[in-house]
Amino acid sequence: MPVDNPRPSDGSRTRNSARTRQDLLDAAAELFGERGYEKTTTREIGDRAGADPALIARYFGNKAALYLATLPTDDTGSELADIADPARIGDLIARVGQLGSGPVLQAVMRAHDDATVQAAASDRVDKRLTEGLERRMRESGLSSPRLRAQLAAAALSGIALGRVAGTLEELASADQDVVVALTARMLGSLL
C-alpha cells in the first residue's frame, strides 16, 4: 500500500496527505494542460508531484477522476458571463502565454477517447465558459444562444492557443492590446 508520509533517509521533511493531494492535483493540472488527458501518465504526474503515483488512486480514485478534479466545477464569477470583455480576453491571453493552455482549454480543443471523461469534461467546460453567456443572450432575446456561446468560447480558446503555438506568426507576434481589441470586436459582433 502506498505511503505518503515516508521517513526519508536524506533528512528531508515528511509529506502530509493534504500536501501530497494538492501536489498531485497541481502536477496533473500542469501536465494535462501541456499534453492533454490521454498523453499524460500517472507515473509522470507522480514524478512531477514528487509522490508515489499509486496515491492517485488513494486520493482521487483513478486518473479520470483526477483529471476532472483539475477542471473547475462552476461559473465562479459574474465576469465569466462576459467573454467579450477586453480585460477578460487580455487576462486569458496573458495567462495562456505564461502558463500554457491548462486543462480547461485542452478540454475545449480536444475530444477524449473515454466517453465518460468526455461527458464530464463537456459539462465542466459548459458551466465554466458558456452557461453564463448563454443565459445572458437568452435573456436578451438573441437567436441560438447556446451555439453563439460555444462559438465564442471556441474562438477565444483558439486565439489564445494560436498565439502561444506560434504557427500563425502574425497572431503570435502582434501586440497583445491589438489582439485583445480585435478579438473583443469579433466576439462583440457574435454576441
Which H/E stretch holds residue 91?
helix 86-99
- Say what the pLDDT of residue 12 is: 47
**CA 84, chain centre distance (Å):** 19
Residues 65 and 24 in one domain: yes
Choose the final residue of a domain: 50, 70, 90.
70
Residue range 7-18: mean pLDDT, rounded = 58
Please give the model's pTM, rounded to 2 decimal places.
0.67
Cα–Cα–Cα angle for 91, 49, 52, nearest 5°?
Answer: 150
Distances 38 to 44, 68, 80, 119, 169 between C-alpha atoms, Å: 12, 13, 28, 15, 28
Domain, as residue range, for 28 = 17-70
Percent of the chain, pLDDT > 90?
A: 30
| Residue 145 identity | P
Give domain status of residue 138, yes or no: yes
